[in-house]
Structure 1
Amino acid sequence: MYDNPPYIGLFSARKAISQTMKMCPRHRNSFVIGVISLVLILGSENVKVVNGGSEYEAINCRKHSAVLTDFGGVGDGVKSNTKAFRNAIRNLSQHASDGGAQLIVPPGKWLTGPFNLTSHFTLFLHKNAIILASQDESEWPHLPALPSYGRGRDAPAGRFSSLISGTHLTDVVITGDNGKIDGQGAYWWEKFHKKQLNLTRPYMIELMYSDQIQISSLTLLNSPSYFIHPIYSSNIIMQGLTINAPRGSPNTDGIDPDSCRNVRIEDCKIVSGDDCISIKSGWDEYGIKVAMPSEHIVIRRITCNSPDSALIALGSEMSGGISDVRAEDLIAINTESAVRIKTAVGRGGYVKDIFVRRMNLTTMKYVFWMTGSYGSHPDPHYDPKALPKITGINYADVAASDVKYSARLDGISNDPFTNICISNVSIQLNEQRKKLQWNCTNVSGVTRNVTPPTCELLPEKGPLQCPFPTNSLPIESVKLKSCNTKVFF
């Protein structure tokens, strides 16, 4: 706690009353009257502080508030706060049906192992707060494999819990005024490279079977694996995020909606060791069985730096299907490819109705890349007759410079990728340019106003403007409310 705490929650006030019982009667009575009056004021005013606290925007504001230090949190970067986070959230969960609650993480370095969130809840990080992920493996619970994957992504066994998790939740906000979460992933990356892990590495944030999710206004650093992994969830807003992992850090995808619907990703800056954004929906026969697609996804105003991977990947785990993805106003710098489709025989599922426009790309290996032979499988039991359907892929208004390879488009024999549309594209090549700029197999579609000229399988047709939907998705109309932490710092 602070020496002169600017905020006293109901928990702290009750503790203060208890401590005063040791005072002499005269001082004790006057002090208790004062504290009881404060409790009544706080209770009647929902712990509001007039003209105080940090303002933030959220899908819902909260009636109740508490600070992590109220539950024994110590922000010295050394003491574990796992119990403090878990106790705080357990106590605050009682307010779910009474206006919800928010937990404020104040300035400091808060070392912690994994903890689970609750419904109608906000986790708010002060701008000078840093949550540090524990490197003590004993603090990380073990979980079974995800149903749509059948095994851990890294190893055949299960997986470690994510740092911040939740299952079957409603109305969850993780936000701040650019507070930080550092996954301290180097410990896990080294063990992964040395093949010393029998379980899949932790993700930073994973919410499952949940609805109404917001993750915003944070800086996320060095995740052990994926940074943000909503799965089997809906109505998700992710915005104003800065995500950073070094080149070579394995599988440090920035944002991975997986079997999710109604998703909005916007105004994010991502530097990643893997895909900046990757849309997924399960792996081979397991994803086919679960049959939960990713659909109705809006991605806009994203800046990506990923020398070894894509600005946006679709797949390769896409066996439940991916459709109605709308991406626009994208920037990629020193990135392997722009929007990449990854699939294989055995995946089944589909990638269809993909709309991308207004990309500005600099220093790229590929501009357009589609792969039909992305051959990693969870086990040998996949169905070789399960062929993916890739159709309705639309790209418009692309400017690219310092490019090595305009396009590599590889469909599947007897299962071509169809209805590809590419219009208004200008690609400037670098000195390492490939002689064959458009390498196309097992694809079909049309192009218009594209330089360098495309392949014979994508003939020019004019006049042509590749489509982009004119209607809005429901997730785009969700308006955020102005909320307050109700806490002075």
Structure 2
Amino acid sequence: MAPVKIPNYLLLSLCLISLLCFLPTGECKYSQMLHRRGGPQLSAAGVAPPCRAHTVNLKDFGAVGDGKTSNTDAFKKAVAELAKFEKQGGGMLVVPPGKWLTAPFNLTSHFTLFLEQGAVILASTNISDYPPIAPLKSYGRGRDLPGPRHSNFISGSNLTDVVITGNNGTIDGQGQIWWDKYHANELNYTRGYLLEIMYSENILVSNVTFVNSSSWNLHPVYCKNVIFSGVTVLAPTNSPNTDGIDPDSCSEVRIEDCYIVSGDDCIAIKSGWDQYGIAVGMPSENISIRRLTCISPTSAVIALGSEMSGGIRNVRAEDITAINSESGVRIKSGVGRGGYVKDIFLKGMNLYTIKWVFWMTSNYGQHPDDKFDPKALPNVTGINYSNVYAENATMVAKLEGLPDDHFKGICMSNVTAQVIESKLIQWNCTNVEGVASGVTPAPCALIHNQGPGKPCAFPKEPLAIDKVIINQCPFKGCY
């Protein structure tokens, strides 16, 4: 593969990000969500949660950071101890520099997990440490295989006010053993995820690096008020299904200033699979994505679906950069999915080496079982793309609706794609309806060219989650 040419401005930006992450500080800080007037309620009383009142160090519970000693009991005891302070100002667990090996553990409410610079939480590679758990109700089975799924590495359910942050510490899933067994068909259950939080609200993940997940990295599901800020996700680009961030049947989600290198979609918004997702009926909605940088040679920068049977609506993305990725925006659906993808707004995307700038797929044939309804067709409408630049593109767009279910309301404005000269086909459109303004190369006939000066919609009023501010809470006695 030819080396990827990265623009000078992007190299400078990445260097600045790296420098800021590792500058020494005289005072430790951790991030905390605060309530801004007009934003979502972050506590029952509608006031800002305070900085944590109680702090413990993982070493206080006998942990050894040599990368070999199991610290499972230390993590569990520390979380259990801090759970006592949920109603007394909350608790924070500080993970100091070192390599802290552990089996899966759960989080608690009003809780902060803080990873200092140089701290690495290592996931156990003993598969027996990941017992089977029930599949998600909106999926009906494991995503890889029928039946249960392996437990996740870090989990939480029915929680409120949870923060995972630090001075760019690392959570390492040590996923190679899982990838090898997946490729060899040696697993009995679906792989778990590096972080999964369910039925929870007021979640913040910031300034932490996640690497080598066994499968999806960050998976909030059935959650509300979730922020990912300044998060780095890294996986080999040939690792299977290592999605970066996957909001699933979640509302009020903000993803900002994140850097993702992935073997699958960098961001994948989901809401359940076929009849199971339809039955749960919990959409992903009111989602904001901004200042995202992505590398994913075999998948999308932002994907909607393919599990979208509960519906996806009101997604806003802006200031997106991708290098060597398969597609800029991909809508994935098919017969049996039902649900909808509507009111999608993208403004400002720069793509360097891309296969398809825009890709809409209606032929996703993966189903949880044979009980799906072939009459359950997706409703895809209100898709708005503006201010998009792509160079070294194989094709501008591949847009494929269904014969009896056209994808409608597509709008593209101020789009410039430099397509590889040897490629004769620049657009491939079937069963879609839309308009274009200021698009080069000229769009296919089904996307009617309106001429310049007619921009696509992008809402002016911010989402409630965009009004939430992140406070830096100082604390003394850094370990």
Work out the CA distance in 2 between the residues paired with 1:371 and 1:488.
50
- Count the aligned residue pairs: 438
Work out the CA distance in 1 between the residues paired with 2:54 and 2:361.
50
Kept in 2, the 8 Å contact 1:52–1:488? The answer is no
1:246 deviates by 0.5
Aligned to 1:173: 163
Which of 25, 28, 32 does residue 58 from structure 1 map onto? 32
Kept in 2, the 8 Å contact 1:247–1:272? The answer is yes
Work out the CA distance in 1 between the residues paired with 2:425 and 2:387.
22
Kept in 2, the 8 Å contact 1:156–1:198? The answer is no
Aligned to 1:452: 441
Q: Does 1:224 align with 2:198?
A: no
3-state DSSP of counterpart to 2:75: helix
Work out the CA distance in 1 between the residues paired with 2:244 and 2:101.
22
1:53 deviates by 4.7
1:488 deviates by 2.4
Work out the CA distance in 2 between the residues paired with 1:136 and 1:199.
15
Kept in 1, the 8 Å contact 2:30–2:114? The answer is no
Work out the CA distance in 1 between the residues paired with 2:107 and 2:31.
19
1:85-132 residue CA offsets vs partner (Å, 9 max, x unmatched) = 011101110000000000000010000110000000000000110011
Aligned to 1:388: 378
Aligned to 1:319: 309
Work out the CA distance in 1 between the residues paired with 2:163 and 2:276.
30
Percent of aligned pairs sharing the same letter: 58
Aligned to 1:346: 336
Aligned to 1:152: 142
Work out the CA distance in 1 between the residues paired with 2:146 and 2:94.
38
Which of 75, 80, 101 does residue 65 from structure 2 map onto? 75
Letter of the aligned partner of 1:442 in structure 2? N
Query: After the TM superposition, which residues 429-448 of structure 1 pair with which residues of structure 2 at under 5 Å, given as runs?
Result: 429-433=419-423, 435-448=424-437
* Alignment TM-score, normalising by the size of structure 2: 0.90
Indicate the larger mover: 315-324 or 152-161.
Answer: 152-161
1:57 deviates by 2.3
Aligned to 2:41: none
Aligned to 2:463: 473
Letter of the aligned partner of 2:99 in structure 1? K
3-state DSSP of counterpart to 1:336: strand
1:222 deviates by 0.5
Q: Does 1:461 align with 2:450?
A: yes
In the alignment, structure 1 segments of 5+ residues that lack a partner are 1-50
1:281 deviates by 0.1
1:385-432 residue CA offsets vs partner (Å, 9 max, x unmatched) = 001100000000011100111110000111000000000011112245
1:485 deviates by 4.1
Work out the CA distance in 2 between the residues paired with 1:432 and 1:232.
46
Kept in 1, the 8 Å contact 2:397–2:427? The answer is yes
1:198 deviates by 1.1
* Alignment TM-score, normalising by the size of structure 1: 0.88
1:277-326 residue CA offsets vs partner (Å, 9 max, x unmatched) = 00000000000000000000000000000000000000000000000000
Larger radius of gyration: 1
Q: Does 1:120 align with 2:110?
A: yes
Query: After the TM superposition, which residues 329-368 of structure 1 pair with which residues of structure 2 at under 5 Å, given as runs?
Result: 329-368=319-358
Work out the CA distance in 2 between the residues paired with 1:200 and 1:127.
32
Residues 470/75 of structure 1: CA separation in 2 closer, same or farther (3 Å cut): same
Q: Does 1:142 align with 2:135?
A: no
Work out the CA distance in 1 between the residues paired with 2:92 and 2:478.
15
In the alignment, structure 2 segments of 5+ residues that lack a partner are 1-24, 34-48
Greater strand content: 2
Kept in 1, the 8 Å contact 2:29–2:166? The answer is no
1:487 deviates by 2.6
1:363-390 residue CA offsets vs partner (Å, 9 max, x unmatched) = 0010010001111100011000001100
Q: Does 1:195 align with 2:185?
A: yes
Kept in 2, the 8 Å contact 1:394–1:422? The answer is yes
Q: Does 1:245 align with 2:219?
A: no
